[in-house]
Structure 1
């Protein structure tokens, strides 16, 4: 076994940076790679304790997903960490046809030898809770059961119409599934046999108890132990390792980022929260421009003009899930023979942002949307990410490293549709952590 404590594959980019942040905040140096790393890829980074792969499996059909995650798991297995994690979103975005959790579990089952696979979806830090098997997620000041959540229950790709996580897994997998409920966390022993164990988590104390149970299993197991979970599992394990004194580096908590004069941001998210964030940015001096498939050159020209005038720019494809622009964009893509909307939009926004970064030598950028972030980061030529400073829970500001050491490191904040406060894009510009407010 190597000195690596954790190797994880994230099912989307913003979820991957969320997991990386959980480890980094507890002083565990963590690097997030865009492609599966090899041992030689780690040599330039001292004292690494956790390694992640930023994936896109949440948006994939089963066959492509199996190929993607199996390749990632093999790469992580060769690094010999204590835990290998399939990092899933804390809103459990999945269906039989897209982001199928059963596919990830079966790929892990085929490679790793632990019979009991822990499944931990809750993350109290982000307002995600599991109680008696049912999953809940916070939006604004309210907490909703997953199947009644105003965003996730009507998600355009993976509407979550079941809150019982055991039933969600049974629908997507042939695995036997058992529940360790909130009343059993301390005393219940794992049943014998091959199964997935779903863990309740309501409080931070529950989170620590679950992590302890998972790690006790890993310490008794020979070879890497395969687990499935949100960043709640990362927070719990990181806290345990920190208490044991196994951390080596610390993200500076006393210092604060300086503001920059301007940034460029792009958003492919259609969530109601992102809509509020776009409107807030526009009300606070950003030049916000809608991106359409047929008028991209006009949008890019306007963005150049705004940046030359000293403004920050935000290019977006939609304001909320009911924006008529979504239907119009899908129609335009279909007319051009493009079926994968997420990929087409991600690559388009990536090309626009790259042009702005290169022309104006921008130091800091932001991206909204989990699927969008993956395509944009690749287009920017970023090879690996590391947390530079906490910014908003689940959406830290990162350092984007490029393979060519002569290329300047880019500061980049990646946020999922459900993350960040209304002032997120302004916070990125000013280098303002939520704790500063």
Structure 2
């Protein structure tokens, strides 16, 4: 076994940075790679304890997903970590046809020999809870059952119409599924045989108990142990390791955050929260420009002008799920014969941001949207990410490393649609953590 405690594959980019942040906040140096890393890729980074791969499987159909996830798991297993994790969103975005949990579990089962696969979806830090198998998610000040959540129940790609995680897994997998509920968390007895065990989590104490149970299983098992979980599992395990003094508290590059006068940001998110964040940015001096499939030249012209004037810019494809621009964009893409909307929009926004960064030598950027983030980061030529400073839970400011070690890292904040407070883009500009407010 190597010194690596954890190797994880994230089902989308922003979810991957969320997991990376959970580990880094507990002093565990964590690097998030854009492609599957090899041993030689780790040599330039001292004291690594956790390694992740920022994936896009949440938007994939089963055949493509099986190939992608299988390759990633094999690469992680070769690094010999204690745990190999399939990192999921804490809102369990998935279906049998897209981002299938069954495909991921099958790939993990083929690689690792542990009979019981822990499944931990809850993350109290983000307002996500599992109680007696049913999953809940916070939006605003209210907490909703997953199948009644105002955003997730009507998600355009993976609408969640079932809150019982056992039923969600049975729909997507042929595995036997059991439950360790909140009453049983401190008990030692577990179901025997090959199965997936869903763990309840309501409180931070529950989270610690779940992590303890998962890690006790891993310590008893030879080779890497396969687990499925949100960043709630990462927070729990990181806390366990920190309490035992296994952290190194390494500060990346020994640096402190510096102020910047302007940033460029792009958004491919249609969530209600991102809509509010765009409006907040606009009210606070950002030049916010709507991007369509056909107006890219005009968008660049306006963005260049705004940046020369010293303003920050935010390019967006929609303001909320009810924006007519969504249907118009889909129609334009269909007319052009484009079938993968997420990829097309992500690459488009990535190319726009890349030109703005190069032309204006920008030091810091931001991206909103899980799928969008993956394509944008690749377009920017970023090889690996590491947390520089927390900004908002699940959406830290990161160093974006290039393959050329002589090239300075780009500061980049990536956020999912449902993450961040309304002032998120302004927080990125000012380098302001939520705790600083």
TM-score between both structures, scaled by the size of structure 2: 0.99
Counterpart in 2 of 1:409? 409
Whether the 8 Å contact between 1:256 and 1:431 is mirrored in structure 2 is no
User: Does the Cα contact within 8 Å between 1:276 and 1:422 map onto a contact in 2?
Assistant: yes
Distance 1:250 1:80 in 2: 22
Deviation at 1:337, TM superposition (A): 0.6
Does structure 2 retain, via aligned residues, the 8 Å contact 1:24–1:251?
no
Equivalent position SS for 1:76:
helix
Q: Distance in 2 between matches of 1:395 and 1:386?
A: 12
Q: Kindly state the Cα deviation for residue 405 of structure 1 after the two structures are TM-superposed.
A: 2.0
The alpha carbon displacement at 1:407 in A equals: 2.1
Distance across 2 between alignment mates of 1:184 and 1:366: 42
Matched ranges for 1:165-180 at <5 A? 165-180=165-180
Report the 3-state secondary structure (helix = DSSP H, G, I; strand = E; otherwise coil) of the residue aligned with 1:382: coil
Matched, 1:286 2:256: no
State the match for 2:275 in structure 1: 275
Q: Which residue of 2 aligns with 1:161?
A: 161
Give the aligned partner of residue 16 of structure 1: 16
Conserved in 2, the CA contact under 8 Å of 1:13 and 1:374?
yes
Whether 1:308 and 2:311 are equivalent positions in the alignment is no
CA distance in 1, matches of 2:251, 2:184: 35
Name the counterpart of 1:119: 119
Pick which of 188-197 and 328-337 moved more.
188-197
What are the equivalent positions in structure 2 for 1:23-102 lying under 5 Å apart? Answer: 23-102=23-102
Matching residue of 2:201? 201
What is the CA RMSD across the aligned residues, in angstroms?
Answer: 1.1
Shift of 1:191: 1.3
Q: How many aligned residue pairs are there?
A: 436
Matched residue, 1:344: 344
Residue deviations 1:192-230, cap 9 Å, x none?
Answer: 100000000000000000000000000000000000000
- Runs of 5+ consecutive residues of structure 2 not aligned to the other structure: none
**Structure 1 residues 174-253: aligned runs within 5 Å:** 174-251=174-251
Mapped partners of 2:346, 2:251: distance in 1? 30
Displacement of 1:404 in angstroms is 1.2
Deviation string 1:4-24 (CA, Å, 9 cap, x unpaired) is 000000000000000000000
Quick one: structure 1 residues 142 and 256, their matched pair in 2 at CA, closer, same or farther if it must change by over 3 Å? farther
Q: Aligned to 2:383, what secondary structure does the other structure show?
A: strand
CA contact (8 A) 1:135 1:165 kept: yes
The residue correspondences of 1:252-271 to structure 2 (distance < 5 A) are: 257-271=257-271
Map 1:346-361 onto structure 2 (within 5 A). Answer: 346-361=346-361
Quick one: distance in 2 between partners of 1:248 and 1:69?
Answer: 30
Shift of 1:190: 1.6
Q: 1:99-114, aligned counterparts within 5 Å?
A: 99-114=99-114
How big is the shift at 1:249?
2.1
Distance 2:274 2:323 in 1: 12
Q: Tell me, in whole angstroms, the C-alpha distance in 2 between the residues paired with 1:190 and 1:72.
A: 29
What residue ranges of structure 1 are gaps of 5+ in the alignment? Answer: none
| 2-structure distance, mates of 1:119, 1:293 | 40
Superposed structure 1 runs of 4+ greater than 6 Å apart? none
SS in 2 for 1:386: strand
- Separation in structure 1 between the aligned mates of residue 225 and residue 182 of structure 2, nearest angstrom: 23
